[in-house]
Chains A and B, each alone.
Chain A
Amino acid sequence: MEFLRPADWTEALAAKAAHPSAVPIAGGTDVMVEINFGLRRPDALIDLNRIVELREWEVGADTVRLGAAVPYSRIIDELPTELPGLALAAHTVGSPQIRNRGGVGGNLGAASPAGDSHPPLLAAGAEVEVASVRGTRRIPVEEFYTGVKRNALAPDELIRCVHIKRADGPQQFSKVGTRNAMVIAVCAFGLALHPATRTVGTGLGSVAPTPVRAGAAERFLEQALDEAGLWDSGGVVPPAVAGKFADLVVAAANPIDDVRGTAGYRRHALAVLARRTLDWVWDEYRGKEWGRACA
């Protein structure tokens, strides 16, 4: 196995172009597990740890540009206001040691449906910036996942960063597992309210071949909140609306039976998470008067 250690981003792209089958490694929290288990034995690894800018983030007017290798622990400590959904999800990733090593780029690269960062990225709205010696492109995150553990990267491309919309309203994340930490999600759900545009975003994890949004559920909820004037009044979301929202979230799922839970249980639990997170974000919206004063 070849071990390539590019000194900077240009060298990294050149290395990837020269070795398209090489596997990039940053925190190693996924790649090393697969190598240790003998699940894969790549011809080459490209170590991205010398590339400082992958561990940098920058807050812009509307988006956060999050380097692919910014560790989860720094997202929790440094970006809880700008990226609350992702920070909540980051809290549930592995152990402190894993959170010190792992970052969103690895989750995207692995593209496991159970990756904890996918639901908040989907809910908040994000674009993945990928690059190669041929140039740079941005892929909307919902188009990034193309199949079970497959993504839209070309063989010569590397993930540079993720552009995530800054929170303009409450965001929540919740997952079900058999224990309280260090657990792969049985199912997970992320929800973001965008009061400025009066829209909502969703993200579903571990309930379909890829992480997915529940588009119909989003549109239904947007419409129901609008029609009842709830964005302005801050009134309670009627249980029937929450129930229908949850049903539509479940309709977007396509779960399987596996060792972590049955498909039936996943559907049930997903509905619970949808109702629960809706309660939480709406309570926060009403309490904090997010955007209502200027609406």
Chain B
Amino acid sequence: MTGTTFGAVPWGPPLGEPVPRLDGRAKVTGSARYAADHTPAGCAHAWPVPAPVAKGTVTAVHRAAAMAEPGALSVLAHDDAPRLGDADDRTLAVLQSPRIAHRGQVVALAVAETLPAARAMAAAVRIECAPVPPDLELTPEHPRLVTPEGAESAQGDFPAAFHGAQVRIDAVYSIPPLHNHPMEPHAATAQWLGGRLVVFDSSQGSNAVRDALAALFELEPDQVSVVSEHVGGGFGAKGTPRPHVVLAAMAAMAVNRPVKLALPRGLLPALTGYRASTLQRVRLGADTEGRVRAIAHEVDTYTSPLSPDWRERATQPTRSLYAAPHRLTRERVAPLDVPSPSWMRAPGECSGMFAVESAMDELAVACAMDPIELRARNEPDVDPHTGRPFSSRHLVECLRAGADRFGWADRDPAPAMRRQGRLLIGSGVAASTYPAEVIPSSARAHANPGGGFLVEINATDIGTGARTVLAQIAASTLGIGVDELEIDIGRTDLPRAPLAGGSCGTASWGWAVHKACGELSRRIDEHQGAVPAGGLTVTVDTTEDLATDDQYTRRSFGAQFAEVAVDVDTGEARVRRLLGVFAAGRILNPRTARSQLLGGMIMGLSMALTETSTLDLAFGDHPERDLASYHVASCADVREIDVHWLAEEDSRLNPMGSKGIGELGIVGTAAAVTNAIHHATGVRVRDLPAQPDALLEAMIAQGRI
């Protein structure tokens, strides 16, 4: 036992070791229970009825045919559903109004004895509605585009500096709607026990779910328990409470039985958020040596009437990325009658960095400079937006280390020059960056008198390995092995903690776990190392530890390298090699960290080449609603892929010295791939994804083949 202080976690095993997931065996053997795996006695099943039009009013709900189905229990709709309180999120005000805000919005809920009966009922419910013409199309001229407060920034005199620049890049990039599609669809099992509500939910943060349910059902928070013990991915789609959990609780109240609701995959795009499409104009003005003098990034995007404050904050990374005295960023957003967009892995940053890192590649070509040297030349001394120093910033080091590993030195910059049979080969690079935030958290640590420890915190493991890394932090602080303690997470009955999101989970939870375990060690020392009968328990909160504003910008950085082969006959682009080199503070578990970064990079590869969705102007929602039509890269699309990280020391982060890595891996990947496509073919891909038909047409139009 070491007498640990509140300072840094002692660096060394088990922290920094590739500890296998503590819940790995439970997951692969199927004993780990997810939200829909819980079936309380007497559990009924629910199935949603989606709105058939994009905008309008429900004028009648015909239930007779549905209620005639064997096993029918109830059809809930706006005209008879329990009234809800206000949870400050209009997507959660389910079945409260006849108004239809978007196609796919739940307008009725069928509840039955069995799942097939609920489905049959939902199919038999007839919704009559009075549709009105929806507003669905985003254009740069859309009359309702507005710039919300805080959505623009300006320094210097951008127009003049851009006008006077020797080299100018002015390009528009577009990204289609993209869907999170976690492997486990959103599901909840809800049960009322006396006046208490107990819910098993597939969520990235059950405290927020509890708070929302308490507000909606007008309960005290301690009358609500939410369990998210195992979660099959989220990518942001489970970051805030979603309608399914409210519907399950409402149905359980209405039929006075437990109710289970698992959303069908086809309703995820309409009900659980997505990355809204963006139109992004980037202008760079530089001298012939590649020194950027002026940078502007303007984004048009949309939200839904149910989420009026939402926008894809795609200019955020641009503010802090490269030095330039004259700067301008602006985000405009229009409310359209579409499903509510929300968080998708690296919201804002991922979208914006595709545009900016593509534009930087265009500038490198225009200046006849190596794209790595161009980025190095524009490295800022301090955060150009705030003037604050970076707590650590090793972007250039990542670029250079990656160049060595990738074999960049031999690269001939000329495009469309490398031919292997009917393939054109090229390579590209792009930067990655993501904020390294931390949120207050509490945690509890307990020492048993007979030996052994229990660490409790309502963290959520959405497949990242959170359970494992928190055990490592606790064990290192206590000076014991991982197998000498128990870690309990994923329930609101445990000490309150923030969500698994924003790449701040481990930093936030780990800080609280470290603080609790450090304090517990001190208490044990006060007892001369002997834990008294009844044990010792310490509960801590990090709110005050985080309160000081010490004027640093904290971000993780990285560099991604891609090699592509483009078939000159078919236009098929395939990534042959993908390399990411990251600087994200200390890597606490190289096994799970590598997996998260790889996953992000593959998602970025997928964004570059295969993932695309359409906002259907005839119907008002997305026709690509399943994994057969929404193409996520398959194993056969990922060839050689590699992840490395620098040994980055940063004492201004948290006791572990770590930065979040959940989102960093997807940022910049798409640009690395499309920059490589330009190097291979001479075609600049400004509209994602780079699909064969468009790429072939562009190659033919440019006379490249």
Contact = CB atoms under 8 A, between A and B. Distances in A.
Interface in A156-202: 176, 178-184, 186
A261 B629 CA distance: 12
A186 B570 CA distance: 11
Interface stretch (A10-18, A119-127, A265-273): A265-273
B692 interface: yes
A259 interface: yes
A276 B623 CA distance: 34
A184 B614 contact: no
Contacts, number: 58
Nearest to B628: A184
A262 B693 contact: yes
Nearest to A41: B123
Interface in A212-259: 259
A176 B634 contact: no
Interface string B623-655: 110101101011111000000000000000000
Contacts of A262: 693
A33 B624 CA distance: 15
Most buried by B among A95, A264, A268: A268
* Interface size range of chain B in the complex: 20 to 34
Contacts of A176: 570, 572, 692
Contacts of A95: 634
Most buried by A among B569, B626, B629: B569
A268 B123 CA distance: 42
A180 B574 contact: yes
Interface residues of A, number: 24
A179 B637 contact: yes
A259 B623 contact: yes
A268 B696 contact: yes
A265 B692 contact: yes
Contacts of B696: 265, 268
Interface in B109-152: 123
B631 A183 contact: yes
B609 A178 contact: yes
Nearest to B635: A181
A291 B260 CA distance: 64
A38 B329 CA distance: 46
Interface in B686-705: 689, 691-693, 696-697
Given A180-B634, A181-B634, A265-B692, A259 B572 contact: no
A259 B609 CA distance: 15
Interface string A90-101: 000001000000
Which 8 A-B residue pairs are closest in the complex by CB-CB distance? Answer: A180-B636, A265-B693, A181-B636, A181-B634, A272-B569, A180-B637, A182-B634, A179-B610
25 contacts: A33-B628, A36-B264, A41-B123, A95-B634, A176-B692, A178-B609, A178-B610, A178-B692, A179-B633, A179-B634, A179-B636, A179-B637, A180-B574, A180-B636, A180-B637, A182-B628, A186-B692, A259-B623, A262-B693, A265-B571, A265-B692, A265-B697, A269-B569, A269-B570, A276-B569
Given A264-B693, A265-B692, 7 more contacts: A37-B266, A178-B691, A182-B634, A261-B692, A268-B570, A269-B569, A269-B570
